Structure 1
């Protein structure tokens, strides 16, 4: 893994490309033992808890600066979710021709396909600000802010392959574009 991918993984994958939001030591749901054969069975009223995929907030459905900023926050929530669960489908749908995004999705998927898990690395933005551009009639926004991430550990089978990344703050920018289906990420990276 080259140095730039490691940095991206540590502060964008760790937080965007990082996985943490609802991470715990065991993201698998715990099931109660089956009822004994002597006790009558009754339906359980306890819901099984676990990470739930974020939903697009109403604030991200416009085509102004506030909507662009809300979309970028939502995108990072999807990164956090993907890192916790290994479910990258929703994250894939939010980017278009974004090599960094594709690399992050591939990295997360590969960790889980190899039997690994990602712990920590939850990312969130602060101090977001969007500047608009128009290209070929489509509004685009360059959203800049500080990406703050927690410490992350990538656990792979066999401890020799495990990876750790410190948390931290990184000036970050995300170029987004409005399409007929809503916003998509075109590029992202360190400012």
Structure 2
């Protein structure tokens, strides 16, 4: 359930400035998630060799096209802002699955650094080219904070869960095992052509 006009001090302070989130922490270059060191590989006690990582892939089918923005995510109301945040999450997952970052960047401000970092990573490493495997999809469980700032932007946070997955930056790079985790995505939205777009975001591990 979304609580309207509930202040979050860090983001509320940023919403009143022209450099939203610049001083509020940078996000991760890898799929928009905090950098985590890969866990030590497990070792087969009989052979002494590292065992292969296993990440259970989620049931999926190749999407026929990018997610369509729902009608209730149009407009500049707070209700539309919440639905946009949920829609944007589907764009993140679509980009990670296909490597197609056009729809994601089209729903982002050109200056959104973490949006571009996410897009840059998944354009190189994604499910389609075999460099992301496992339960990589982000799931929003709630949007508990949503409020307007003095600048006319909307700020807030969403609660996100991600399963365990394995990613590589390239086919020659060592796999990184990312455990299942819960995050809070702090975000700011700005108006564009009568609807919201992502102005900036960062993911904080809980």
Query: Could you state the TM-score of these two structures normalised by the residue count of structure 1?
Result: 0.68
**More helix, by proportion:** 1
- Contact 1:146/1:172 (<8 A) preserved: yes
**For the structure 1 residues 77 and 6, does the alpha-carbon distance in structure 2 shift closer, same or farther, using more than 3 Å as the test?**
closer
For 1:130, which of 146, 153, 175 is the aligned residue? Answer: 146
SS of corresponding position for 2:149: strand
Displacement of 1:116 = 4.2
Q: Which runs of 5+ in 1 are unaligned?
A: 12-21, 28-48
2-side partners of 1:103 and 1:167: how far apart? 21
Query: Which residue number corresponds to residue 162 of structure 1?
Result: 175
2-side partners of 1:4 and 1:56: how far apart? 26
SS of corresponding position for 1:144: strand
1-side partners of 2:97 and 2:155: how far apart? 27
Q: Which runs of 5+ in 2 are unaligned?
A: 1-26, 36-56
Query: Could you state the TM-score of these two structures normalised by the residue count of structure 2?
Result: 0.64
Q: CA RMSD in A?
A: 2.8
- Contact 2:70/2:87 (<8 A) preserved: yes
Q: Which has the larger radius of gyration?
A: 1
5 Å-filtered alignment, 1:1-191, equals 4-5=28-29, 8-9=32-33, 50-52=62-64, 53-96=66-109, 97-111=111-125, 115-119=129-133, 120-128=135-143, 129-135=145-151, 139-155=152-168, 156-158=170-172, 161-180=174-193, 182-190=195-203
Query: Which residue number corresponds to residue 17 of structure 2?
Result: none
- Contact 1:150/1:166 (<8 A) preserved: yes
Displacement of 1:5 = 4.0
- Contact 2:167/2:177 (<8 A) preserved: yes
